[in-house]
Structure 1
Amino acid sequence: MSNQNLTTSIQAALQQLENAYHPATVEAGMYQGWEDNGYFAPTFDKEESFSIALPPPNVTGSLHMGHGFNNTIMDALTRFHRMNGENTLWQPGTDHAGIATQMVVERRLNAEGIKRHDLGRDAFVDKVWEWKEESGGNITSQIRRLGSSVDWTRERFTMDDGLSNAVQEVFVRLFDDGLIYRGKRLVNWDPNFQSALSDLEVENHDEKGSLWHFRYHFTDSDVTTQDGKNYLVVATTRPETLLGDTAVAVNPSDERYAHLIGKTVTLPITERVVPIVADDYVESDFGTGCVKITPAHDFNDYELGRRHNLPLINILDAQAHILPEMQVYPDLQTREPSLETTPERYAGLERFEARKQLVAEATENDWLEAIEDYALKAPRGDRSGVIVEPWLTDQWYVAVEKLAKPAIEAVEDGSIEFVPAQYKNMYMAWMTDLQDWCISRQLWWGHRIPAWYNEAGNIYVARDEAEVRSKYNLGADVTLTQDNDVLDTWFSSALWTFSTLGWADGSADPRVMATFHPTSVLVTGFDIIFFWVARMIMMTLYFVKNDDGSAQIPFKTVYVHGLVRDGNGQKMSKSKGNVLDPIDIIDGIDLESLVAKRTSNMMNPKDAAKIEKQTRKEFVDGIPAYGTDALRFTFTSLASTGRDINFDLKRVEGYRNFCNKIWNASRFVLMNCVDKEGNAKPIDQSANSDVWELPERWIMSRLNSTISDIRQHFAQYRLDMVSQDIYEFIWNEYCDWYVELAKASLNDDAVSDERKAQIRYVLLHVLETALRFTHPIMPYLTEEVWQTIAPLLGRKDTDSIVVAAYPQANDAQISEQVEADMAWLQEMIASIRNIRGEMKLGNAVRLPVLLQGITQDETDRLARIENQFKALAKVDSLDILSTDDTAPLSSSSMVGQLRVLVPMKGLIDPTAELNRLGKAQEKLQKQADGIARKLGNEGFVSKAPADVVEAERAKLAELEGQLDTMNAQIEQLKAL
C-alpha cells in the first residue's frame, strides 16, 4: 500500500472510529448487512461441519434473559466454527406452544367479548395463525437484536407443512409398529383449559392447607382398634375425594393396625364398603398412619391401586365438578364403566364447594375427628394458575420401553456426551424409570391427531381420511370422524433436529440432512433434559438411519447450562418483579417505562405497588443503554458449565467499559500511525523478529498462548474461561502493558525508524488478531474496528470479520523465558510504583534505584529488561549493591528475595516519613507480640499440629526481621 493510500486509510479509520464508543450507532444496520450478504447461510464445500438446532422459543410474546443467555452461547459457538472454515448451520425456528398460545389468543378474544366456541374450531385456529404472524415476527426481531447468526433462509415453525408432515409420519409409523396406543390413565388435568398437561406445565406452590381427620367405621361391629375404637381415623388434605375411595391403607409393619389388614370399613356418605390393605408406601408417622386410597384422583394412590387390584372411581367431570353418577372401572382395560349414583346433595358441585359441604356434614354428624394446619405443595397449571386435578381419562400414549433402551445405550457408550458430565446421571435416572408418554391434549391449536373413528368407536390411523379408507378398506358409506385432540407440543419438538432439515420433505435439499445431521451440540437448560432432550434422542434413533442402516443420534454433545437468576440468586419471575428484558439492557429504558412494564400484568394492586417501589429503589435512573456486545460478554463471562448465574447490571457496566477500552485502544494505535500533519508513518506489513525486543517477543508470545487457551476452552464449552482469556489479554496485557511499552519506544528518538515501523506492525497485528478471536462473543464492536484495522495490514481478504479466519496459534512464537522475563519486569515496575505511592512521589519524578541481593540469573534477566524498566518505571539511575554494602536510608520493596530500594535523601520529608514508619512499626509490633504470646502458651505449642507451630515461628521470625529493618530505617532518618 502506498504511503498516500495508507494515509487515506488511517484518516478514514479515525473518522469512522469517532471519539466515543456508541453501541447504538455501531450496531445500526450491521446485522441486516450480514444477513443480506448471506454470511449465515451454510456451505457444503468443507471437510468439517458444525450445526446447532436453536431450541425453538414459544410464539407467545417476547424473549427473556434465559433466551438471551442461551442464544449468546450458541452464537459464540457457531461464529467460532464458521470462522474456522467449517460448513456451519445454526437452524432457527419457533414452537407453536399449544396451550400457551391458545391461552393468549383466547384472552385477546375474551377482551372483545368473544369465546372460542362462538367462532368454532376452524375460525379460532385462523385467529391463532394471525396472532402467530404478529408474535413470531417480534421474536425473530429480538433474536436478530441479540446478534444471533442463524440462517434465516431456513427458518422453521413446528406447524409448517414440512414439519407437520414429519409429525404425521412419525405418529402413523409408531402406531403401526404398536408403539402408540389409546388408553385410560391418570393425567394432570387443567379444569380451566380442560386439557391434560405435561409435568413441566405444572408448578408446585408452597401453600397453607389443612389436614382433615375423618372417622371410617368398621363394617363388622366386632372389629376394633387396639384402644377399643370401632373406627379408623384417616387423614387427608382432599376431603372431597372421599367419594372415590376404594381402600384404606396402612403400613404392614405398623403394629397398631396389623390385626386390621384384610378387614373392611364403610365410607361415610356413600356407604361404600372398602378393604384395609397393607402397603410400604404408607408412612406410619404421617397423620394417623392410615390413608384413604383414591386411585382415580391421586398419582400415588393410582400406583398403590394397581398393586392391590383396586377399582378406580372417577368422581369428577372435565370442569372438576362432581358427577351425578360416578364412573367405576374395575380395571384399566374396561372401556365402559359401571355407574354408581352420587348422593344427590353433592351431584354437580364444584370440587372445592363439595369439600366445604363434606366437612360441614362430617362436623354435624360427628365423624370429623380433627382439623390441623398443614403446609402442602399445591400443583397449579403454569398458564391457568388453577389447581391441577389428577384425572382418569382416555388419552393417546407412546409406549417408551422399546424406544428408551437404545437411548440409554447411546449415552452409556459415549455416542452422546453430556457437558458437564454429571448431567449424564440425571438423564440415566430418568430414563431407567420411564412411564409411557401421554401425547394428547384437549386443545384446538396444535397438530391434530391423525386418527379417525367410525360410529362404533373403532380407531383408524393414517395421514389423512383418504388414506384411512384405502388402508383399512372402508367404503364411502362408512362415516368417519377425526379425533378432536391435538398432540403434546413436545411431540413435534422431539423431531426438531431432523424434521427441520427436510426429513419428511421430498423437495428438500438432500445435502442439508447429509451434512448437518447429527447436529454437533444441543445447548439447553437442565430443566428439560427429560421433556425434550431424552425424547429427541429416542425419536431420532428410531426414525433416522445412516447409510448402513444403523440408528443415527440427534446430536453428539448436550451442553447443559444453568438458569439466569437475579443479582440475589432469586429466580426471575413476573410475580417477583425482578424480570429483566435483554432488549432493555441493550437499548436502555427510562424508569417510568420500566415500572409500567413490570407492573402491567399485575392482578393484585398490592403486588403492583410493592414491585413499583422495589423497581424505583433499584433503578433510580432506569437502565442505561449498554449495547449488545456488553450484554453478550456478561453472559459468557458467567457461563460456567451447569451453574445458575446471578445476573448483575454492574457486570454489564464493567464490560461496557471493556468495549470502551477496545475502542479507545484502537484509536490510540491508529493515532500513533500518523504524524502531526496526519500523514502515515511507516508500518511494516509482516513480522521481522530480528528487530523485536522483549515487549514485542512477550506480546507475541502471550498472543499465541492466549489463542491456544481460547481454542482449548471453546472445545471444553468453557465460555467463561474464553471470556476471561480475552479480557485478561486485551485489557491487562495488550492495553495496560504492551501499548504503554510501545508508546515509550515510539516516543524515544534513540529508537530506530526500522524498529518503530515494526512496533506499529505488532500493535496492529495483535489488535487485528485479538478482534478476530473476540468476534464470536462481541460481534458488532469487533466488526466495526476490524473493518478499519485489517486493511492497514493487507488482511481485508474477506468483506466481513464474520467469515474471516479464526486465529491459529504459532507455537514457535511462544516463549516461557520471554513470558517469565516480562512477569519479572512487571513485578519490578509494580515495586517502584508501590514505593512512589508510599513516598507520595508523583509519576513525573525520575528516581534513583538500588538493587540489593540480586542473583546471577536476575542479573542476566536485568540485562534483557533494563531499558523497558527504566522507561516505564521512570528510573533515572540503576545501581547494584552487594549484600555486604550498607544501603542508604531508602524506601524499599521486595521482588522475591531481591530488595528494590529508592534512597530517600532529597525525595522525602524526614519528619513525615518518621511518622509513617512509626505507625507501621506499631502495627508490626502488635502482630509480633500476638504471635509471641501464642507461642509462649504451652497449651498451644503442645496441642497444635507441629506444622502449624512451625509456621507461627516462621511468621514471628519474618516480622522480627521486618522490625529490625524498620528500626534501622528510623535510626537513619533521625540522623538526616
Structure 2
Amino acid sequence: MTEDTITATLDKTFDPAAIEAKWYAHWEQGGLFRPERPDAAPFTIVNPPPNVTGSLHIGHALDNTLQDIVVRYERLRGKDALWVVGTDHAGIATQMVVERQLELQQDKRTNYTREQFVDKVWQWKAESGGTITGQLRRLGCSMDWSREQFTMDPHFTEAVVKVFVDLYNEGLIYRDKRLVNWDPKLGTAISDLEVETREIDGHFWHFKYPLSDGSGHISVATTRPETMLADMAVAVHPDDERYKPLLARGAKVTLPITGREIPIVADEHADPELGSGAVKITPGHDFNDFEVGKRAGIAPAQMLNMLDAEAKVCQTADGLVPSDLIGLDRFEARKRVVELMEEDDLLEKVEERVIQTPYGDRGGVVIEPWLTDQWYVDAKTLAQPPIAAVKSGAIEIVPKSWEKTFFNWMENIQPWCVSRQLWWGHRIPAWYAPKILSSFESTSFQSGFTIDGKKPPEITNPNIVVAASLDTALVDLRKLYPAGIDFCICDTWESYRQWFVDVFANPNHPGRQGKQIPVVRDNDVLDTWFSSALWPFATLGWPDADAPLLKKHYPNDLLVSGFDILFFWDARMAMQGMHFMGEVPWKRLYLHGLVRAADGQKMSKSKGNVVDPLGLIDQYGADALRFFMAAMESQGRDVKMDEKRVEGYRNFATKLWNAARFCQSNGIGASTSVEAPQATSAVNKWIVGEVVETLAELDRAMAELRFDAAANTIYHFVWDQFCDWYIELIKGQFDEETKRVAGWVLDQILVMLHPFMPFVTEELWSKMGDRPDHPLITAQWPTPAATVDPEAKAEVEWLIALVSNLRGAKAELGIAPGARLSAYLADPSAATRAVIERNPGAIDRLARLDGIAFEPAPAGAAMQIGAGDATLVIPLEGVIDIAAEKARLEKARAAALKEATALEGRLANPKFVEKAKPEAVEKARADHAHHAAEAERLGAALKRLG
C-alpha cells in the first residue's frame, strides 16, 4: 500500500460520539440494512417487539446487540439478511399512559366514547410513542426500518382477526367460565407474566366451622378470611384418619356468617401435616380451590362469586351474604369478617406469617383470582406440533438445557385466556344476540328485566357469532332467526341495555312485536401476546400466501429471546406458526439470561441498581457496550453488569484506532485484495496464518451461537497478535510486502470485528482507503484463500515466548523493563539456532538482549527462561541484589499463603457457605484464587533465583 490510497488522516483521539450518529444515518438513508440481493440466500430474524410505551433498558441492550451481531455477520457473508423490526401496542401499558395523561387534566377515559378514547391513544402514539426505536438506533441495530411494523397496523389487524376467527371455527377458541388473575385497579384480566409475587407480612386465621348436625366443629385456617363468604366446601385428605368418620356419614358444616350448608369432601389437596389438615374451599376465588371444586363435582357456572370488578363484596348467587357487608372493599371486609367470627367465639387463634402475595406489575394492587367468562385458546392441542418439532430437531433450542423446561410447561399447558377488559387493542370479533324471541310485553320479560344497570337475562345465554366483519356476522346471525327480523347494532353492553330500556318504555318499539333483535359486539380486546404470536409470519405479509417476503423469509432462521418469555411469547409463536403456516416459525431459538447488577442481584428501581444503557453509550460509546454484552454472554448464564469492563472495551477500540493510525503513518492503507497477499517473511506468513485460524474459530463460535467465544476470539487476535506482537515485530522494516500484508490484515480485522463494533470499524474502513461504493456494512466476509505456515508460526511463537517470558521474569524480580541483559544457550537445536540467527533485530529490540551466546553461561546467580525447546540462562550478578530479592519474594509469598490458607478454611466451613450472602461467598472464592495464584507466582520467581 502507498499513502495515496488513504482517504483521510485519522484524528489523534478516538471519539465515539463523533462517528456514531454520522454512520447510522448513512447506513439507514442508504438502505444498507437490507441491500438489494434478490438472488442471495435469505437469513431472517425478528426482534421481540418492545412495547410502544417502552424505553431502552439493559435487557433490551443485550437482546438487540446479540441479534445485530448475527444479522451483520450474515449480511457480510452475502445473505439477503432481513431483520424485522416493530413495536407492540401493549394494551394495558399504553392505555394506562393515556389515562394518566387524562388524569393530569382532571379528565378520565369514561368521559369519552370508546372510539374517542382510542383516537386519543393513536394521537399519543403519533406524538410520543416509539421512543425506543430511536434508542435502538443509538445502539447500532441494523434493522429494516423501511418495513417497520406495529401490531395495530391494518394489515396486522387483519391477520389477528383471521387467526381468531379460524381458531374459533376449528373449535380451538371458545368462551368459558374460569378463574383469571384479575387486577381490580385496571379492571381487567392479566397474564401470569404481569403478576409479581411479593413477600408481605400477614396473618393466618384459624376458624371453627360448626358441623351441621351440632356434633362439634372442624377447624380451618386461611390468609384471606373474607373469601369464606363464598366457601362451597371443606376439604380433607382421603387418608386422614381423623376425618374418615365425617366423610363416611357425608357430614356437612354450616358456614358462619352466611349460614350456607357446605359438604366436607375428600381431596388430596388437603395436607394432613398442615394445621388441622382441613382447608376451606372457595372455588370462585382461588386457583387451587377451583380445581378441588371441579373434582368435587361443582361446575364453574355453579361456583359462587362474592366480589365485583373493583374487588368489593357483592351478593352471591344464593343471596346469603349479609347486606351490611355488601359494597365493602375486600380488605375492609376481611376486618369485618374476623370481627364477626370473634364475636361468635369462632376465632381460635391468629398467627403472624409472611405471605407470598400476587401483585399486578402495572396496577400495583393485590391480584384477585376471579371467576369470569373469558375467551380461551385450546393451548394443549396447539402445543403438540411444537413439542414434536423440538423433539425432532426441527426447532433447536440453544442452550439445550432449556428443552426440559420447555417440555415440562408445554406438556402440562393450561387453557390460554386471551381476552382483556380494555379499550385499546384488537377488539374480539364476536357478536352477541339474545336467543329469546317471545313478546317483550310478557310478564316473564318484565319481571326479569331491570333498568338499574344490571344485565338483562338474555345476555347470559346469547347466540354468539364470530366473524371477520360486522357484515359477515349479520349474514350468520340471519340464519338463526326467522325471515324479516331486523337487527339493532349496539357497540357496547351499555347501548345493548339501553335497547331494552327503550323497548320497555315504548309500546310501538319494533322489539315489542319481536321484529327487531339487539346485536352487541364483544367489548373485550385480545391479549397482546395473542397478536405478537403472529410476528414471524404476519410481519411478512400473511395472510397473503403469495406475499414475496413470506415465501422467501418464512420460516425465520433464528429467534433471540430472553428465557423469561419462553412461554409467553416463544412457545405461542411456535403454536401459531406451525398451525397456520404448517412449518416452524424459526429453525433455532436462542435463550439468553438476564443482565444483573455487579453483585448478582436482580436489577430493580426499588433497589436503585438499575443501569441505563444510554448513559453507558454516552460515556463509553455504543461499540464498547455492545462488545461487553457479547463478551459476557455465556450460554445459560446471566450477565453481571461491570462498568469497568465496558470502559475496558472502549480502551480496546482506542487501541485498534491507534494501531490504524500507526499503520497510516507508515504508509499502510486499505487492501485491494480479498485473498491474502503473497508473503515471504516469517512474520508476514505468521500473521496471515493467524487470520486464517481466527476466522475459523470465529465462524465456529458463531455457528454454535457462542457469543462470548466469538468476541474473545477477535479480541485476543486484535489486541495480542496484531497490536501487541505483529506491529512490534514489523517496526522498522516496512517493505512493500509488509505494507501489503499489514493493510490486508487490518481490513480482515475490521470485517471480522464489524458485527460487534460497527461504528469504529466503519469509520476506520472509510479512512484507510478510497472505497465509497463498498461500505464496510456490506463488505465481503474474509476468504483468505491461504493456509497456516507451520514453520513461520513456530518461529514467531518462539520469539513471542522468549520476549514474554523474559519480560515476566524481569517483573517478578524487580528488574527494570528496559534493562539490557546477556543470554547463553549451549547446544541449541538446529531449528532454534536458525530462528535466533534470522531474528537478531527483534531479539535486540524486543527482548533487550545483547545477543544470545551459543555456549555455557558463566558461574553465578542466574535465571532461566524457556522458549520452545530451549532454556536460556541469563546471569544476574550485578543486575540485582540476590539476597535482598530472595528475602522480598519469600516475605511476599508467606503473606500470600497466609491469606490463601485463611480463605480456604472459611470456604471449607459449611456454615459460611450456606449462611453467608452469595456475593460474599463468591468474593471469598475469588480472593482465594487470587492469593493462591500470587503465592504460586512468587514461588516460581524464587526458583528462578536458585
Residue pair 2:5, 2:768 contacting (<8 A) in 1 also: no
CA deviations 1:215-271 (Å, max 9, x no partner) are 01111234xxxxxxx211101111001011111111222223232223211111111
Cα distance change of structure 1 residues 171 and 672 upon mapping to structure 2, 3 Å threshold? same
CA deviations 1:156-201 (Å, max 9, x no partner) are 1000000000011111111111111111111111111111111111
Residue pair 1:93, 1:157 contacting (<8 A) in 2 also: yes
Aligned partners of 2:180, 2:804: CA distance in 1, in Å? Answer: 68
Deviation at 1:920, TM superposition (A): 4.6
> Aligned to 1:657, which of 640, 651, 655?
651
2:374 corresponding residue in structure 1 = 395
Residue pair 1:206, 1:377 contacting (<8 A) in 2 also: yes
Partner SS, residue 213 of structure 1: strand
Aligned partners of 1:961, 1:773: CA distance in 2, in Å? Answer: 38
* Segment drifting more, 274-283 vs 207-216: 274-283
Q: What amino acid sits opposite 1:662 in the alignment?
A: L
Pair 1:467-2:441 in alignment: no
Cα distance change of structure 1 residues 138 and 360 upon mapping to structure 2, 3 Å threshold? same
Pair 1:671-2:665 in alignment: yes
1:893 corresponding residue in structure 2 = 865
Q: What amino acid sits opposite 2:848 in the alignment?
A: K
> Aligned to 1:705, which of 672, 690, 693?
693
Deviation at 1:823, TM superposition (A): 2.8
Pair 1:326-2:341 in alignment: no
Residue pair 1:831, 1:900 contacting (<8 A) in 2 also: no
Partner SS, residue 479 of structure 1: strand
Cα distance change of structure 1 residues 779 and 834 upon mapping to structure 2, 3 Å threshold? closer
Q: What amino acid sits opposite 1:832 in the alignment?
A: L
Matches within 5 A, 1:271-290: 271-290=259-278
Deviation at 1:93, TM superposition (A): 0.6
1:789 corresponding residue in structure 2 = 768
Deviation at 1:807, TM superposition (A): 1.2
Aligned partners of 1:157, 1:25: CA distance in 2, in Å? Answer: 32
Residue pair 1:663, 1:785 contacting (<8 A) in 2 also: yes
Deviation at 1:46, TM superposition (A): 3.0
CA deviations 1:552-589 (Å, max 9, x no partner) are 111111010111111111222222222222212112xx
- The number of equivalent residue pairs is 844
> Aligned to 2:307, which of 316, 319, 329?
316
Deviation at 1:412, TM superposition (A): 1.2
Residue pair 1:565, 1:646 contacting (<8 A) in 2 also: yes
Deviation at 1:476, TM superposition (A): 3.9
2:181 corresponding residue in structure 1 = 188
2:725 corresponding residue in structure 1 = 737
CA deviations 1:918-976 (Å, max 9, x no partner) are 55578899999xxxxxxxxxxxxxxxxxxxxxxxxxxxxx9999989856xxxxxxxxx
Residue pair 1:249, 1:282 contacting (<8 A) in 2 also: yes
Aligned partners of 1:966, 1:190: CA distance in 2, in Å? Answer: 74
1:536 corresponding residue in structure 2 = 573
Deviation at 1:278, TM superposition (A): 1.7
Partner SS, residue 153 of structure 1: helix
Residue pair 2:428, 2:525 contacting (<8 A) in 1 also: yes
2:455 corresponding residue in structure 1 = none
Cα distance change of structure 1 residues 399 and 966 upon mapping to structure 2, 3 Å threshold? closer
* Segment drifting more, 856-865 vs 399-408: 856-865
Residue pair 1:921, 1:966 contacting (<8 A) in 2 also: no
2:624 corresponding residue in structure 1 = 630
2:52 corresponding residue in structure 1 = 59
> Aligned to 2:551, which of 506, 514, 518?
514
Aligned partners of 2:549, 2:189: CA distance in 1, in Å? Answer: 36
Aligned partners of 1:859, 1:181: CA distance in 2, in Å? Answer: 84
Q: What amino acid sits opposite 1:537 in the alignment?
A: A
Cα distance change of structure 1 residues 646 and 920 upon mapping to structure 2, 3 Å threshold? closer
Partner SS, residue 78 of structure 2: coil
> Aligned to 2:879, which of 908, 916, 919?
908
Residue pair 1:697, 1:813 contacting (<8 A) in 2 also: no
> Aligned to 2:144, which of 145, 151, 157?
151
Cα distance change of structure 1 residues 518 and 961 upon mapping to structure 2, 3 Å threshold? closer
Q: What amino acid sits opposite 2:764 in the alignment?
A: V
Pair 1:813-2:782 in alignment: no
Cα distance change of structure 1 residues 684 and 365 upon mapping to structure 2, 3 Å threshold? closer
Deviation at 1:69, TM superposition (A): 0.8
Deviation at 1:854, TM superposition (A): 4.3
Cα distance change of structure 1 residues 964 and 216 upon mapping to structure 2, 3 Å threshold? closer
Deviation at 1:856, TM superposition (A): 5.3
Q: What amino acid sits opposite 2:171 in the alignment?
A: G
Cα distance change of structure 1 residues 155 and 919 upon mapping to structure 2, 3 Å threshold? closer
Aligned partners of 1:450, 1:683: CA distance in 2, in Å? Answer: 61
Pair 1:487-2:526 in alignment: yes
Residue pair 2:92, 2:422 contacting (<8 A) in 1 also: yes
Aligned partners of 2:82, 2:804: CA distance in 1, in Å? Answer: 48
Cα distance change of structure 1 residues 479 and 690 upon mapping to structure 2, 3 Å threshold? closer
Identity over aligned residues, as a percent?
A: 44
CA deviations 1:79-126 (Å, max 9, x no partner) are 111111111100111000111111111111111111100122111111
Residue pair 1:893, 1:899 contacting (<8 A) in 2 also: yes
Residue pair 1:687, 1:762 contacting (<8 A) in 2 also: no
What stretches of structure 1 of length at least 5 have no aligned partner? 223-229, 328-338, 545-550, 588-624, 675-679, 747-755, 929-957, 968-976
Aligned partners of 1:35, 1:573: CA distance in 2, in Å? Answer: 34
* Segment drifting more, 158-167 vs 422-431: 422-431
Pair 1:646-2:640 in alignment: yes
CA deviations 1:496-526 (Å, max 9, x no partner) are 11111110258xx822011111001111011
Residue pair 1:586, 1:626 contacting (<8 A) in 2 also: yes
Q: What amino acid sits opposite 2:192 in the alignment?
A: D
Deviation at 1:30, TM superposition (A): 1.4
Q: What amino acid sits opposite 1:232 in the alignment?
A: I
1:934 corresponding residue in structure 2 = none
Aligned partners of 2:428, 2:804: CA distance in 1, in Å? Answer: 72
Aligned partners of 1:81, 1:46: CA distance in 2, in Å? Answer: 15
> Aligned to 1:417, which of 384, 392, 396?
396
Cα distance change of structure 1 residues 97 and 688 upon mapping to structure 2, 3 Å threshold? closer
1:973 corresponding residue in structure 2 = none
Partner SS, residue 50 of structure 1: strand
Residue pair 1:209, 1:237 contacting (<8 A) in 2 also: yes
1:757 corresponding residue in structure 2 = 736
Aligned partners of 1:256, 1:809: CA distance in 2, in Å? Answer: 81
Cα distance change of structure 1 residues 486 and 42 upon mapping to structure 2, 3 Å threshold? farther
Residue pair 1:159, 1:447 contacting (<8 A) in 2 also: yes
Residue pair 1:708, 1:809 contacting (<8 A) in 2 also: no
Deviation at 1:808, TM superposition (A): 2.8
Residue pair 1:827, 1:895 contacting (<8 A) in 2 also: yes
Q: What amino acid sits opposite 2:565 in the alignment?
A: I
* Segment drifting more, 80-89 vs 836-845: 836-845
